């Protein structure tokens, strides 16, 4: 398969949208997923804010009471690019039937072991979005968080995630905006100065603007119905959701 066909289809020679160079980065960090002070410290810090948004949106779309013990009971959910399971486990605790999928086998090994230690039943698979779609898998909700900027063809990947979503279902995507501010925060700040992540984890030219992502989702038949920025406050040292500031991290919901 030529490079041009990879860009058109979103699939590499193995038939998936994964980028081998990007996989290698996360393969090297896999053992540190559940260390809150390790290389995934930024995600541990961001996770409560992501969870607040996801719980709110899925609850609103499916008429679920987030205050109930297991509000997502009866929903089938996919966490694609699940890593070590930082979001997958909370979704299972909320009652959803969860499939956690990642192309990095070491991530799945780490996630499976941690879930077993927590007494959680989660269907973890070392696979790709394309393989799941080809197998006819369908979900009420698809989560694709901090992954779209790492795939070979973001538009094709978003289209595959849309194909995995049942009619009436939702897809929630988070990524980094391509702005000077995001270069300063995600690369200079997080990688070069704070050294939370190895240098080269992010590539600024791969970042995606909200307008570009909304266009991809609309083209895939899942128009965006909500978007929020996720803003880090260096004084309070915490994250919060913002309706206005999408200049660095943001999260978006599409409905099928």
Binding residues: 50, 81, 102, 145
Nearest residue to 242 (alpha-carbon basis) of 253, 252, 228: 228
Which pLDDT does position 10 carry in this prediction? 42
- For the record, the structure tokens of 43 come out as 């995600």
Mapped onto helix, strand or coil, the DSSP state of residue 172 is strand
**Residue 47 burial (CB count, 10 A):** 17
- C-alpha to C-alpha distance for 42 and 232, rounded to whole angstroms: 10
Q: Are 49 and 241 in contact (CB under 8 A)?
A: yes
Q: Which domains does the chain have, with CATH numbers?
A: 3-255 (3.40.50.150)
- C-alpha to C-alpha distance for 138 and 233, rounded to whole angstroms: 38
Beta-strand ranges (E) seen in 47-126 are 76-80, 97-102, 123-126
Question: What is the DSSP code string of 16-41?
Answer: SS--HHHHHHHHHHGGGTT-TTSTTH
Binding residues for S-adenosyl-L-methionine: 50, 81, 102, 145
Instruction: Write out the chain's pLDDT in tens, 256 residues.
Output: 222 322 333 444 455 677 887 767 666 666 789 999 888 888 899 999 999 999 999 999 999 998 899 999 999 999 999 999 999 999 999 999 999 999 999 999 999 999 999 999 999 999 999 999 999 999 999 999 999 998 999 999 999 999 999 999 999 999 999 999 888 777 876 667 666 666 767 788 889 999 999 999 999 999 999 999 999 998 998 999 999 999 999 999 999 9
- C-alpha to C-alpha distance for 226 and 223, rounded to whole angstroms: 9
216's CB contacts (< 8 A; 6+ apart) are 154, 155, 158, 159
């Amino acid at each position: 398969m030529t490079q041009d066909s990879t860009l058109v289809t979103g699939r590499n020679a193995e038939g998936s949208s994964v980028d081998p160079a990007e996989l290698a980065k996360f393969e090297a960090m896999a053992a540190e997923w559940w260390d809150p002070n390790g290389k995934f410290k930024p995600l541990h810090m961001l996770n409560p804010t992501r969870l607040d948004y996801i719980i709110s949106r899925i609850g609103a779309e499916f008429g679920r009471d987030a205050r109930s013990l297991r509000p997502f009971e009866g929903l089938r959910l996919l966490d694609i690019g699940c890593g070590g399971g930082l979001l997958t486990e909370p979704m299972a605790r909320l009652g959803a039937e969860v499939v956690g999928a990642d192309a990095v086998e070491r991530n799945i090994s780490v996630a499976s072991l941690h879930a077993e230690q927590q007494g959680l039943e989660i269907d973890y698979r070392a696979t790709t979005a394309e393989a799941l779609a080809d197998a006819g898998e369908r979900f009420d909700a698809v989560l694709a968080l901090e992954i779209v900027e790492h795939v070979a063809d973001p538009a094709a990947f978003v289209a595959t995630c849309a194909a995995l979503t049942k009619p009436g279902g939702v897809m929630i995507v988070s990524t980094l905006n391509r702005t000077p501010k995001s270069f300063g925060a995600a690369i200079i700040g997080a990688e070069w100065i704070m050294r939370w992540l190895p240098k080269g984890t992010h590539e600024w030219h791969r970042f995606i603007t909200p307008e570009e992502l909304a266009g991809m989702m609309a083209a895939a038949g899942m128009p965006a119905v909500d978007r929020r920025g996720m803003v880090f406050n260096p004084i309070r040292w915490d994250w919060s959701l913002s309706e206005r500031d999408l200049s660095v991290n943001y999260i978006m919901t599409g409905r099928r």
